[in-house]
Chain A
Amino acid sequence: MSTHSNPSPAELADRSLQLLVCSMFAVALVFCLSVAEFFAGESAAAIIDIAVKVLGVAILGLMGLLYFWKFRPMSTGRLRESLAEDGFLQVGFQKAMAKSWMLSFVILTVLQALDNLVLARLPLMPLEIVIKSVLALMLLLFSVFFLLYTRAGSIDD
């Protein structure tokens, strides 16, 4: 049996993808907090504002780390190959993306259809908050679907 001191390119691609999904989830949290900040009282909004900034810096750090540590050393060909992998996580990523987009579309359509029941009862929101809400919904749904598709279900030896 061989020993595996260095991870293979496929393992690196898996880890990079997991880091990317973590970053997307963190971005979703930032958007959620930003929307919450709009609805919260002044004192709570100040705390949320700090949380958003801390989380924002953490995400930037994570993305920077991902780029400089994983992607920058890769050649263009290797990078293209890694992103086009058809492994378990990569397929899960694509499925989660498709399902979350479809479900977001359905939710937004239903909300639009129930305009009088739901949307009309909300306070008037600036466009920025509306966009952040939609993005938060899409990213959160994506994170949940990715987790569902890729949750532990394998037998390792």
Chain B
Amino acid sequence: MTSELENRIRVFRAEHRLSQADLAEAIGVSRKTISTIEVGRFVPSTIIALKIARYFEVPVEEVFFLK
């Protein structure tokens, strides 16, 4: 059984009025990494996922979830 990882990064970014570049710089990754995570093309490492959740001050499962 395969599960697809979905995310709400775009929603959180919009709420915080952040560009992909701003978020990327804040968590120490490149903009391409953020954009490919957002569209579901790249499954991030646990560390990157936790950094994104910590940045938005929400539990990681609010940002990432299985379809």
Contact = CB atoms under 8 A, between A and B. Distances in A.
Interface of A: 1-2, 4, 8-11, 13-14, 85-89, 91, 153-157
A8 B32 contact: no
A155 B30 contact: no
Nearest to B17: A1
Given A2-B22, A153-B41, A88 B28 contact: no
Contacts, number: 63
Contacts of B48: 86-87
B58 interface: no
Would you call the interface of chain A mostly helix, strand, loop, or mixed? loop
Contacts of A157: 19-20, 35
A156 B63 CA distance: 19
A41 B36 CA distance: 48
B36 A8 contact: no
A14 B32 contact: yes
A8 B21 CA distance: 10
B29 interface: yes
A154 B32 contact: yes
B3 interface: no
A91 B47 CA distance: 14
B20 A89 contact: no
Contacts of A4: 21, 25
Contact of B30 (A1, A2, A14, A153): A14
A10 B31 CA distance: 9
A87 to B, nearest CB: 4
Contacts of B17: 1
